[in-house]
Amino acid sequence: MLGAGLGAVGLAGLLGDAYFVEPDHLVVERIEARLPRLDPRLDGLKIVQLSDFHYVDQRDGNLIHEAVESANKLSPDLVVLTGDYVTTSVRHPKLAARHAAPCAEILSDLRAPIGVFGVLGNHDQCDPEFVTHALETRGITVVRNYALSVELSGVRVWIAGVDDVLERKARLDQTLRPIPPDELTILLAHEPDFAEEVRKFPVDLQLSGHSHGGQIRLPLLGMPYLPPLARKYPLGYRRLGSLSLYTNRGLGTTFLPMRFDAPPEVTLITLRSA
């Protein structure tokens, strides 16, 4: 009886942590991505990545505010947002999309000299035009199956983005077609497992989200659930031949408003020449 009672108390404590504590326990992850084609003049370029905001109510807004403040303190050269600004609703998809407006208002406080760029995720497909408009009217460039270039220290860098892969809207060949094959390319794609296709092209760095890092990671059992196209590369930094991939755990939650051993994150990615 005593053992069962202690077990129940322990379980209650874990559930309390997963519901009340960890979803708001923001972590800054710092990684270095060594890119063979990075010009030495750009060594040390700083990118901040935020993902999977899933704005529904004020609790989400508070966490996004905190993430924006953390991002700005890192003094990034570039900020990228890798989708899912809202949480879709089967019954009320248009209403769910309206949450993109307050989310975008908070994100408009992000500061980076090169700019803030984003792609859409699968949840944003509830009304992609509205979500795109909400972001772009707040100064965030949404790249949907195209690429644009920026010049830094006399070196041209391409920022490319595909529309949502899960919804079969990604057009990778079209997106990369304007890019000279010898120029550095950073690709934003919501679903990380799309890297299996991306690695066939001259892309240097893919930044993704979608998985929430499993959202719940249990001892010995690992991640009980991962969404489609986030099961092969659900978490962290990987090298896939010449392609570097980073999968961000995101900020928000879906289905269960809980996180365990998968805290929300702001990622600082420092580019290094090989």
Domain ranges of the chain: 2-273
Any idea which fold 2-273 has?
Purple Acid Phosphatase; chain A, domain 2 (3.60.21)
Q: How many other C-beta atoms lie within 10 A of the C-beta of residue 14?
A: 12
Residue of higher predicted confidence among 94 and 243 = 243
15, 32, 96, 104 from 88: Cα distances, Å: 25, 34, 6, 16
pLDDT at 12: 43
Burial of 114 (0-12, 13-18, 19+ CB in 10 A): middle
Q: Are strands 78-82 and 265-273 parallel, antiparallel or unpaired?
A: unpaired
Q: Is 41 helix (H, G, I), strand (E, B) or coil?
A: helix
39, 45, 87, 207 from 54: Cα distances, Å: 36, 28, 5, 18
Secondary-structure breakdown of the chain: helix, strand, coil percentages, each rounded to the nearest 5: 30, 25, 45
Count CA within 13 A, CB hemisphere, residue 27: 16
Contact predicate 190/121, CB 8 Å: yes
What is the arithmetic mean of pLDDT over 167-173?
98
Place 20 in a pLDDT band, splitting at 50, 70 and 90: low
pLDDT at 220: 86
Lowest mean pLDDT among 13-22, 167-176, 192-201, 220-229: 13-22
Q: Is the pLDDT of residue 9 over 50?
A: no
